[in-house]
Amino acid sequence: MPAMDVMDSGRMVAIADPTGGGIFFWQAKDHKGAETFMTEGAISWADLSTRDPQKAADFFEALFGYKFEKMGDPMPYWQFNVDGEGQGGIMGIPDMMGPEARPFWTIYFGTDNITASLAKAVELGGTQVTPPMEIGGGQSVRGSH
């Protein structure tokens, strides 16, 4: 998609990384964008699932200067840090999704109480996809709308 103005808020453009993961770039004008991170209700993590994690990591390292730390066994995971703080990562698309699955981003939102947030999401029509799981000292649960 070509770059376009979003009223007086800013400009945006959509691209796909070399592995096919879609992302948007935002150039702020009157609307700065997300200034809050890792708090209740704000974005707290972002993961790209792709068929070629190393190629995607190389792309984002060259594009944004991210430094990636490869970790994980048996499924490798490339974590990226911004100003020394982990903010997301890249991993392979799980085999259970099948060979036709395209690259995708998973965005995590912070909560002070995962049990209460999950119950509220289900009450509002969301669907729980995974049970809450411990990840790096916190908990995560996957759902859909």
pLDDT along the chain (145 residues), means of 10: 90 95 91 75 90 94 89 83 87 89 92 90 92 65 46
- Assign residue 41 the CATH number of its domain: 3.10.180.10
Please give the pLDDT value at position 145.
38
| Residue 48 belongs to some domain of the structure | yes
pTM > 0.75: yes or no: yes
Q: Is the residue at 25 inside a domain? A: no
Quick check: helix, strand or coil at residue 41? coil
**pLDDT at residue 10, rounded to an integer:** 92
Task: Name the pairing type of β-strands 43-50 and 104-109.
Answer: antiparallel
- Return all residues near 90 (Cβ < 8 A) that are at least 6 apart: 47, 48, 49, 50, 53, 56, 57, 60, 68, 77, 78, 80
Give the domain range for residue 51. 33-110
- Give the whole-angstrom CA distance, residue 123 versus residue 125: 6
With respect to residue 41, please indicate whether it lies within any of the assigned structural domains: yes
Is position 76 within any domain? yes
What is the number of structural domains in the chain?
A: 1
Does residue 84 fall inside a structural domain?
A: yes
Q: What pLDDT sits at residue 93?
A: 93
Q: How many helices (H) and strands (E) does the chain have?
A: 2, 12
- pLDDT for res 75: 78
Distance (Å, whole) CA 68 – CA 89: 8
The pLDDT score that the predictor gives to residue 19 is 96
Residue 1 lies in a domain: no
